[in-house]
Structure 1
Amino acid sequence: MPCAVAIPNSPIFSPTNVSSIFFKSQASSCSSPRLVKVQCSGSVSSSTTQSTTSSPLAGRVQRKTTPSSNMGLGSCTGEVLKRKRPSRINIPMASLSFTIDSPKGSSDVVEDESDGYSVYCKRGRRAVMEDRYSAIVDRQAESRQAFFGVFDGHGGVGAAEFVAKNLDSNIVNQLKKGNEDDIGEAVKGGYLTTDKDFLKEGVNGGTCCVTALIQKHNLVVSNAGDCRAVMSRGGVAEALTTDHRPSRKDEKERIENLGGYVDCCNGVWRIQGSLAVSRGIGDRHLKEWVIAEPETKVLEIKPECEFLILGSDGLWDKVTNQEAVDIVRPLCIGVDKPEPLSACKKLVELSAKKGSIDDISVVVIQLRQFIS
């Protein structure tokens, strides 16, 4: 059942205002391509009949081909060999091993708004929403600080909920260990620790992540998976993250160098014929190839940095980066009464209108409020 995560005393900032919300799951499989080696002699008609027997050797199938009654000319005998590959992975639905407070509002739509940020999430066609978000703002710090995240779950809600509850504190613990001068390493350590701890829970499934840490007028954006962060710089969309998908050349090479394989099924590239993202937290059945290491970008928040949009792929699969900025900007910049929550809703509505059936979650962060 969908739910929100509230963190009353997060170690990252104090006091805390936190929520965590729903995101999606999609695990499907498809057959991998075959390498075929056939030797023929004589002229062969295109019409054949086949009988198939399974070889005792795993991953290999032998097919004996015999001519049909109307072939007439020549004969063809051969062996079709299927390359030995790991079995396709079916990701089971997760069961929860911890208790989460129920959210305010319905399970189909969740919204949240506070000083400096707005959130809107809408369930797609799945039975439950499997996405979560985090929003933590320190209102008493001399230099305002905050942590935001969107977590796009798959194979169950367990991973997204766990990450929404623990990732911020794990990053802060890394900062306390002396990694403050290299905040990229601190974020990486936080992601990897969260992944390690989640795997100990024995819960299946995984989650994509995109996070934004605001500290000392710096914006630290990280991602693992296909959730995305897009900033408006003077009205121009600037993607601060790059999606981690098996179709990305460097990700495909990394997976194959580790002994995995990437297939395209119905236009979607998948790892081991199963998962359509190449990084994330969880996914124990694919852990050899699906890594939790994020990519991180650090930049100074300047006056031309207007707002940041964090969204799941339910948004970005249908709405371009510039479209998103063009919708949000008139409602947030240069107006007496900004309406960022309305902007979030408009983004979700546009994605749904364009045909998205996925869960869609959007967080809009007004960056200028963190440098004043």
Structure 2
Amino acid sequence: MCTVAISNSPVFSPSSHISSSIFCKSSPESSTLNLSPSSSPSSSFKLRFNKTLHPVSGLFKTCNEDGQSTSTSPTLLKRKRPTRLNIPVASLSVSVDRSTPRMAEDRWKEVVEEGEGYSVYCKRGKREAMEDRFKACVDFNGQNKQGFFGVFDGHGGSKAAEYAAENLESKIKEEVQKRGESEIVEAVKQGYLNADSEFLKQEQRGGACCVTAIINSGNLVVSNAGDCRAVVCNGGVAEALTSDHRPSRQDEKQRIESLGGYVDSSRGIHRVLGSLAVSRGIGDRSMKQWITAEPETKLFKIVPEFEFLIMASDGLWDKVSNQEAVDVARPFCGSMDKLEVISACKKLVELSASRGSVDDTSVMIVQLGSFC
């Protein structure tokens, strides 16, 4: 299996194969968006419920990796690069290791990823470097259709989002192998905390909000830490499967204050210690006493009315409501045509930008029918 890594020296490198776990088996397809951080200064830190959801307990298996990116010869560096990076999913050998020449990171303005059952579109905002990342793992070779998906929104740099995209899935796998599928909620929680602990040891700056989804045999496990969000289209009605972790939430404010911190508000934005506009996430070393990486996790049974799942960074949700997102995407998601679904992702990003968003925006749509 291979990991797509796009950085100052983008590479395609093999990832270690885990034979027994909750996500994938051996003929893998997986991709990770991994753009290295820029040395430039970072920017500031930052339901509708008309139908009944169907919680379940217990689940899963393992993940695989497969990805491909455009490569370029050294001579192309003399010419102006195109603004769009298109990474189609193709059949790569598990031993593939490709690299492309070094390139200024601010050239990556758009990223497109299309795989079996999912599509992703990322667009850089006003920053000099993209701080969003994503992870997608699927396996259609066994009887059980399964997958791991994640969107990671970095702040104060991209290192934490990059680390989460590369490592969170494997940390959760390890915990499920230890505990068993019946303890999936605790396994996901510990996976997040372990990833956070390992990242903090690197003494890197910045942090990342995370939203992840695990799908297996018609079951769905959704987790988040921060303000990345997952919304399901339930027969045309938008239902948020996650709740944003922001210091404006009363329970989050009380938690922070009980730990000796404080929340203040300026121009309508609540911030932890006057600095950070989210209250959970991976990283944020200097504020770790108050910014926990512990996720909230919910389990659901995928019913026929669950048409598709939208996972996105706050670059979308700050400008587009849950129902609007579903209404825009739904006409494109009625078939399994990847081009149609990627068009839905793009439409959502464009809508957010048209309303004034200057943030990096990443939108992933998972066709839930592909996994039933």
Output the TM-score relative to the length of structure 2. 0.76
3-state DSSP of counterpart to 2:308: strand
Who is 2:288 aligned against? 287
Who is 1:184 aligned against? 185
For structure 1, which segment, 20-29 or 352-361, has the greater mean C-alpha deviation from structure 2 after superposition? 20-29
C-alpha distance in 1 between matches for 2:225 and 2:172:
15
Who is 1:20 aligned against? 33
Who is 1:170 aligned against? 171
3-state DSSP of counterpart to 2:365: strand
> 1:270–1:328: structure 2 CA closer, same or farther, 3 Å change rule?
same
C-alpha distance in 1 between matches for 2:182 and 2:344:
36
Q: CA deviation at 1:318?
A: 0.2
Tell me the alpha carbon deviations over residues 321-367 of structure 1, each in whole angstroms, 9 at most, x when there is no partner: 01100111101116888710000000000000011000000000000
C-alpha distance in 2 between matches for 1:333 and 1:195:
38
Q: CA deviation at 1:141?
A: 2.4
Tell me the alpha carbon deviations over residues 26-52 of structure 1, each in whole angstroms, 9 at most, x when there is no partner: 4359xxxxxxxxxxxxxxxxxxxxxxx
Are positions 1:219 and 2:220 aligned together? yes
Q: Is the 8 A contact 1:23 1:361 kept in 2?
A: no
Which one-letter code corresponds to 1:16 in the other structure? Answer: E
Superposed counterparts of 1:200-215, under 5 Å: 200-215=201-216
> 1:107–1:334: structure 2 CA closer, same or farther, 3 Å change rule?
closer
Q: CA deviation at 1:306?
A: 0.3
C-alpha distance in 2 between matches for 1:5 and 1:259:
45
Who is 1:299 aligned against? 300
C-alpha distance in 2 between matches for 1:367 and 1:251:
31
Identify unmatched segments of 5+ residues in structure 2: 1-6, 47-97
C-alpha distance in 1 between matches for 2:12 and 2:234:
31
Who is 2:235 aligned against? 234
Q: CA deviation at 1:121?
A: 0.2
Who is 1:316 aligned against? 317
Which one-letter code corresponds to 2:223 in the other structure? Answer: S
Q: Is the 8 A contact 1:218 1:298 kept in 2?
A: yes
C-alpha distance in 1 between matches for 2:100 and 2:303:
38
Who is 1:254 aligned against? 255
Output the TM-score relative to the length of structure 1. 0.76
Superposed counterparts of 1:56-71, under 5 Å: none
Which one-letter code corresponds to 2:266 in the other structure? Answer: C
C-alpha distance in 1 between matches for 2:115 and 2:185:
27
> 1:259–1:335: structure 2 CA closer, same or farther, 3 Å change rule?
closer
Who is 2:70 aligned against? none
For structure 1, which segment, 269-278 or 1-10, has the greater mean C-alpha deviation from structure 2 after superposition? 1-10
Which one-letter code corresponds to 1:360 in the other structure? Answer: T
Q: CA deviation at 1:19?
A: 2.0
Superposed counterparts of 1:99-110, under 5 Å: 107-110=108-111
Q: CA deviation at 1:267?
A: 1.6
Q: CA deviation at 1:138?
A: 1.4
Q: CA deviation at 1:16?
A: 3.1
3-state DSSP of counterpart to 1:326: helix
3-state DSSP of counterpart to 1:278: coil
Q: CA deviation at 1:178?
A: 1.9
Which one-letter code corresponds to 1:17 in the other structure? Answer: S
Q: CA deviation at 1:140?
A: 1.4
Q: Is the 8 A contact 1:231 1:240 kept in 2?
A: yes
Which one-letter code corresponds to 1:247 in the other structure? Answer: S
> 1:13–1:102: structure 2 CA closer, same or farther, 3 Å change rule?
farther
C-alpha distance in 2 between matches for 1:288 and 1:18:
33
Who is 1:333 aligned against? 334
Q: Is the 8 A contact 1:171 1:187 kept in 2?
A: yes
Q: Is the 8 A contact 2:315 2:352 kept in 1?
A: yes
3-state DSSP of counterpart to 1:339: helix
Superposed counterparts of 1:41-60, under 5 Å: none
Q: Is the 8 A contact 1:124 1:357 kept in 2?
A: yes
Who is 2:162 aligned against? 161
Which one-letter code corresponds to 2:254 in the other structure? Answer: E
Which one-letter code corresponds to 2:33 in the other structure? Answer: S
Q: Is the 8 A contact 1:234 1:304 kept in 2?
A: yes
Superposed counterparts of 1:93-172, under 5 Å: 107-172=108-173
Who is 1:344 aligned against? 345
C-alpha distance in 1 between matches for 2:368 and 2:249:
30
Q: CA deviation at 1:236?
A: 0.5
Which one-letter code corresponds to 1:13 in the other structure? Answer: C
Q: CA deviation at 1:179?
A: 3.6
Q: CA deviation at 1:139?
A: 1.9
Q: CA deviation at 1:216?
A: 2.4
Which one-letter code corresponds to 1:275 in the other structure? Answer: L
Tell me the alpha carbon deviations over residues 166-190 of structure 1, each in whole angstroms, 9 at most, x when there is no partner: 0001101111002410211110010
C-alpha distance in 2 between matches for 1:175 and 1:256:
33
Which one-letter code corresponds to 1:201 in the other structure? Answer: Q
Q: What fraction of aligned residue pairs are identical, expressed as a percent?
A: 57
